[in-house]
Amino acid sequence: MLLESLSNDYEQRLDNKVQEMVNKVIMEHEERVKSQDDLKNHVDFRDKVIEEKQQYEREEMRDRYMAMDSLVRAEFQRKDEAIKSLQGIFETQVRSLQTSIKQEETARN
Give dist(CA 13, CA 32) in Å, integer: 28
Claim: this prediction has a pTM higher than 0.85: no
Give dist(CA 78, CA 85) in Å, integer: 11
For the cut 90, the answer to whether the pLDDT of residue 7 exceeds it is: no
Give dist(CA 57, CA 65) in Å, integer: 12
Q: pLDDT tens digits for 63-106?
A: 999 999 999 999 999 999 999 999 999 999 999 999 999 999 99
Q: pLDDT tens digits for 14-49?
A: 999 999 999 999 999 999 999 999 999 999 999 999
